[in-house]
């Protein structure tokens, strides 16, 4: 898989500023500039396919531009965009009939794995890191994968994540605890 990786030391900032004059408005450019990296990363790791993530990011922002009048300011813009992105990605996933589906029971096996889940995760800093992360996430349930990707965004609170996934904050905390253990156990097996 072709990983859209940055060169070492380069952050994931969008180059959109360089061509903002091509946007229909400065506001749209600003919206994309501020949130596109987070949305693209979610789509990339949730869908597991760079090309599909590219298409999804385009579609999510186009939908957002078309629905700006429906945004009532009750949530942050980032949360609102995540809502659109999650719905979009989940619709795509549901339409992939050939996709392997992992049940929560499968996750439970990994949560109880004998892997050293309390140990730090160590990895050689190579190009394969992204592939190992993707392989690990792909082997998890959609629910755990989504929770881990959302919690990785430091701009989101537990309460916002709970709203996005339609559960209580306490339930999210509990599931994230299990999701982290499952991730660590699976990651150790991806060598």
Partner 1 sequence: MKQRAKFSQKQEQIVAQGSQHTVKEFASPDEMLRYDAARVVIPPEIAERLQKSSGNVHGQPMRRWWHKLFGGG
Binding site for partner 1 (CB under 8 A): 3-6, 10-12, 14-16, 19, 22-25, 27-28, 32, 36-38, 40-41, 44-45, 50, 54, 57-58, 61-62, 65-66, 68-69, 71, 73, 77, 120-126, 129-130, 133, 148-149, 151-154, 156-158, 179-180, 183-184, 187
Smallest distance from the beta carbon of 97 to partner 1, in angstroms?
27
CB of 178 to partner 1, least distance (A): 12
Query: Is the Cβ–Cβ distance between 42 and 149 less than 8 Å?
Result: yes
Minimum CB separation of residue 84 from partner 1 in Å reads 14
Query: Which residue number, 94 or 123, has a Cβ lying nearer to partner 1?
Result: 123
> Which of residues 139 and 179 has its CB atom nearest to partner 1 in the complex?
179
Place of tokens 């690990």: 136
φ, ψ of residue 109 to 5 degrees: the values are -60, -40
Q: Which is nearer to partner 1, 71 or 96 (CB)?
A: 71
Q: How far is the CB of 122 from partner 1 (least distance, A)?
A: 5
Tell me how far the alpha carbon of residue 108 is from its chain's centroid: 21
Q: How far is the CB of 27 from partner 1 (least distance, A)?
A: 5
- Rounded to the nearest angstrom, the gap between the alpha carbon of residue 24 and the centroid of all alpha carbons in its chain is 27
Alpha-carbon span 176 to 151, nearest angstrom? 8
Q: By C-alpha distance, which of 118, 130, 181, 173 is closest to 150?
A: 173
Cα separation values, 38 from 5, 42, 110, 176, Å: 14, 6, 28, 19
| Residue with smaller CB distance to partner 1, 73 or 166 | 73
């Amino acid at each position: 898989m072709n990983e859209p990786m940055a060169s070492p030391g380069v952050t994931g900032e969008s180059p959109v500023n360089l061509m903002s004059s091509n946007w229909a408005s400065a506001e749209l450019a600003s919206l994309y500039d501020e949130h596109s990296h987070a949305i693209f990363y979610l789509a990339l790791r949730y869908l597991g396919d760079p090309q599909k993530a590219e298409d999804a990011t385009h579609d999510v922002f186009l939908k957002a531009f078309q629905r700006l009048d429906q945004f009532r300011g009750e949530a942050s813009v980032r949360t609102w965009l995540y809502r659109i992105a999650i719905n979009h990605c989940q619709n795509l996933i549901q339409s992939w009939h050939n996709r392997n589906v992992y049940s929560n029971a499968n996750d439970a096996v990994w949560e109880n794995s004998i892997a050293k889940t309390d140990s730090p995760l160590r990895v050689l800093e190579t190009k394969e890191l992204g592939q190992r992360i993707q392989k690990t996430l792909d082997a998890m349930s959609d629910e755990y994968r989504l929770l881990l990707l959302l919690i990785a965004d430091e701009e989101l609170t537990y309460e916002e994540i709970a709203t996005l996934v339609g559960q209580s904050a306490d339930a999210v905390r509990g599931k994230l605890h299990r999701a982290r253990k499952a991730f660590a156990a699976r990651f150790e097996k991806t060598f």
